[in-house]
Structure 1
């Protein structure tokens, strides 16, 4: 028994002592990594991260096969590449720091409120939002009122929303029609919808440089395609010249949609809006109950 006790004591001696500050460090680093990943997912940085992973895989390939010239080029260009990343993503980094200053991290992370009834209500709200948007587009199409409506999904577009006027209103067909009515202060520009609310109007959008787009398309359609190229948003465009309704998503433009086709497109593309959003801890608790049951 003495030999076993000596062996156990020697093995335990190799394990470093875990103090309270070590636990706190692990928790802080875990939370930081979590929020960095959330930030990457909700911005264009996710596309950049995938590109970086491809480059890393290529460099690993070059290292395994001893491609010295490629490794030399990589070593000399990596510092320039890091600086370029900060320059290209300056708006996203600035927005992340602004959100960090406004965000109550503990209350959002430990939010346990909500129920199945609230989730059902969310689904009803989403369906009502779709119906109101479709109704507004059809009414504006009849009288040939130009409109540009951007529906956010995963990627937030606050940098473009800040170019307009903040509203924060419920989505209704009457309000949308009134916004885009001719000679009104808010008719020029795009309307942004997030979480079933109109968050801003008269917003400026980036124009698409796609040379394959029809030359007959104007600035409104190119702006709709442009915002869909830099995000996963859904953009509805009503032509002022023809009254034609179009939908832009992922750099593609679907033109001349009827009411049923428009409803089908929204039901297909708004995949993330239909799923009720529960808090993180509630999902974890629910999954544990299923596993134990």
Structure 2
């Protein structure tokens, strides 16, 4: 294989060199974006500062300082694995997510029998339960019931399932309302629904997102929903206990202020891949829009 070279002044440059530089630049930019605003960014700056000092003292011939800083550089790889273990774990989980293969037309064709099956999950029961929780009244007062539900797709959620109480039950509206009742010992935490439509566990603990761009009005329930959606391809549903709003989180992106009809369409759209079009026709919600009280539209699923 012949690589075409060309000259820039006295430099011999190939297209492979240009591609190499672009990829390194992209990698540095992505590392900056992932670490921006977190403790990891400060650690990264410290490591770069030490490396810069090492290059400086080595160039000046300061052998003692050069050997001291050289020891830090020699163990830098191991230190980075320890200091950045959370970030590395998130990155590897992100790379391992199957969403790219689900969206790529070639892989959608090859794995059609594996991925593109109609979902057995009872979407209507979930939406009806969420709508009732969002519009719940007690003694004539508007008192929404908070809820957090995780619907598994291709990512393994066994780690989160094991943190809660095993149930293994069929989904129905009454069961979900019972779990998230404030007097229920299972209401604190998330329920996890597997790919077969079974409610496998309740009171599960989810990772909390550290994304600094999450609006301040979103509490731990929403942050936990975003957190698990950042590292898995699961769909996460949230009912706000304070505002009675319904939200859907997918790929770390939250869509708030959804009506029952919008929520039903989006879930059906995401879970039944065979009916997916190129564009989501229901993408109308805003991430930072104020959360209004949810009311069921005329075309929403019957209660």
Structure number with the higher helix fraction is 1
Instruction: Give the whole-Å Cα distance in 2 for the aligned partners of 1:171 and 1:160.
Output: 19
Pairwise CA RMSD: 3.7
- Which residue number in structure 1 is paired with residue 47 of structure 2? none
Question: CA 1:245/1:273 → structure 2, altered by over 3 Å: closer, same or farther?
Answer: farther
Shift of residue 140 of structure 1?
A: 0.6
- Which residue number in structure 1 is paired with residue 174 of structure 2? 174
**Could you tell me the TM-score, scaled by structure 1's length?**
0.52
Alignment partner of 1:213 is 2:214: yes
Instruction: Give the whole-Å Cα distance in 1 for the aligned partners of 2:119 and 2:251.
Output: 26
Once the two structures are superposed, residues 233-272 of structure 1 have per-residue CA deviations (whole angstroms, 9 ceiling, x without a partner) of 1110000011100111111110010111101211222245
- Which residue number in structure 2 is paired with residue 232 of structure 1? 233
- Which residue number in structure 2 is paired with residue 135 of structure 1? 128
Query: 3-state SS of the aligned residue for 2:257?
Result: coil
Instruction: Give the whole-Å Cα distance in 2 for the aligned partners of 1:226 and 1:155.
Output: 14
Query: Given that residues 165 and 203 in structure 2 are in contact (C-alpha distance below 8 angstroms), is that contact kept between their aligned partners in structure 1?
Result: yes
Query: 3-state SS of the aligned residue for 1:237?
Result: strand
Instruction: Give the whole-Å Cα distance in 2 for the aligned partners of 1:81 and 1:132.
Output: 49
Once the two structures are superposed, residues 9-48 of structure 1 have per-residue CA deviations (whole angstroms, 9 ceiling, x without a partner) of xxxxxxxxxxxxxxxxxxxxxxxxxxxxxxxxxxxxxxxx
Aligned residues, how many? 179
Instruction: Give the whole-Å Cα distance in 1 for the aligned partners of 2:206 and 2:220.
Output: 10
Shift of residue 214 of structure 1?
A: 1.2
Query: 3-state SS of the aligned residue for 1:228?
Result: helix
Instruction: Give the whole-Å Cα distance in 1 for the aligned partners of 2:210 and 2:123.
Output: 30
Unaligned runs of 5+ in 2: 1-19, 25-73, 90-112, 137-143, 277-303
Structure number with the higher strand fraction is 2
Unaligned runs of 5+ in 1: 1-53, 59-75, 91-115, 117-121, 276-293
Question: CA 1:247/1:124 → structure 2, altered by over 3 Å: closer, same or farther?
Answer: closer
Instruction: Give the whole-Å Cα distance in 1 for the aligned partners of 2:272 and 2:119.
Output: 15
Q: Alignment partner for residue 125 of structure 1, among 82, 102, 120?
A: 120
**Could you tell me the TM-score, scaled by structure 2's length?**
0.51
